[in-house]
Amino acid sequence: MNRDMYDIKHVLRYSLLVMAVLLCQACTGTDPQDITEERTTTIYLQLPQPDAGTRMSPSYETDLGKLEKKIYTLRVILLSQAGTNKSTTINRLFTNVKSGELLAIENVPVGVAQLYVIANEASIGQDYSNIANLQKQVKDVNNSRKVLITDTYNQYFPIRGSELLAAEKKKGLPMSWMNKNLTVSENMTIDVALERCVSKVLMQIQNDFSESIQIKEVSFGAFFGNSFYLFREGALDVPDQTYKGQVYDKSVDYPIAPNESEVLICYFYPSFAWPSDLVVSPYTIGFKTQYGYYPKMAFLNSDGKPYNSIPRNKQININVTLSGATHVNIDFNVVEWTNEEITVPDFE
C-alpha cells in the first residue's frame, strides 16, 4: 500500500511539472520549436552567365558593351524573419565580381527571408554599407514599399556612352534584382536575374550627302526623368516625376563621311513621359548640321503610333538618314538590350 501511494505522488509531481512548463510557454508566447537552436546554412547566388561573343571588331560600341555588363561591386542584403530573434540582417559587399560567378553567403537563417541584390551602387551615387541609407529611401507606393532613388539635378543620368568610357573611375551601370518571398533551405542555389536599372538609346546616323556633314547638335524631347525605383515591380514601374529635354551641343561636333554612319549612345532613367494623348508626345529627336536644322520627329512604333514610355533594361534603336536640306528619315524600335549589330536600311 505504501508503495502504491509513492507511485501516485510521483506521477502527480511529474504531471504538475509538465503543466508548469506548458503554462510558461503559453505566457511567453514561445513556440516549443523556437526553444531549439536557430538553424543556419550557406546559400549560393548564381549570377547571370556572360553574354555570347559577338562578331563585331573592337570599337566604341563593343567597348561600351563590355562596360554595360561589368559588375564592379555587388551588394547583397538579406532580411530574415526566421529563427529565434525573428530579425537578422546580412549586408555584404563583393568586388571584382564576374558574370556567371557563384557567390557564397554564410550563416543565413533557414526560413522566410527577403533578398536584395544591387550592382554598381556608386554609379547612382549610393553607398549602402550602412543599411539605414537604404531604409531612408523606402516609400509607401500603392500598398507596396519601394526604394526611390532621386537624382535631383541629373548628376548621374542621362549620360553619353563616350562620357561613361572616359570616366577616370569606372562605376558601370546600376543593376538590381530582388526576391521578397524567399524561403531559405539548406545549401540552396538562387539564380540572380540582374537587370539594368536604366534604358539605352543607340542611334546610328547615316550620311546620304555627297560630302561630309558635321553633326553640331542632337536634341531629345522632354522624356528624361530624374528618379526611379531601385527594384522593379511590374512591367514599367516608373515614379511620378518631372521630365525635361536634353540637348547635346558640346563635344558632339564630329564629321560623317559620305555614305558613312556614326553611332551615338546614351543611357537614361526609365520613363513614362506621355500618359495622355491629349498632348504631343515628348519622345522626339532633332538634329543640327552645317546645312541647318532638322526638326524634331516623334518616335513611332511599328503601327505608326508614338511611344508613351521606355522601360528599364531596354535598348532603343534609332536609325537616322540625313539627306537634302533639312530632310530626315527615322526608323525607331525598342528591343531587348543586346549587343547585336545594327543594320541601317536604305531610304529613297
**Cβ-count burial 195-210 (b if 16+ within 10 Å, e if not):** bbbbbbbbbbbbbbee
For 244, the grid coordinates are 525635361
Q: Which tens digit of pLDDT belongs to each residue from 246-262? A: 999 876 677 899 999 99
pLDDT band at 37 (very low <50, low <70, confident <90, very high): low
Q: Which tens digit of pLDDT belongs to each residue from 172-217? A: 999 999 999 999 999 999 999 999 999 999 999 999 988 999 999 9
pLDDT band at 293 (very low <50, low <70, confident <90, very high): confident
- pTM for the model: 0.83
Average pLDDT, rounded, for the chain: 83
Give phi and psi for 345, each to the nearest 5.
-70, 160
- Between the alpha carbon of residue 292 and those of residues 122, 242, 248, 331, the distances in Å are 40, 30, 16, 21
pLDDT band at 138 (very low <50, low <70, confident <90, very high): very high
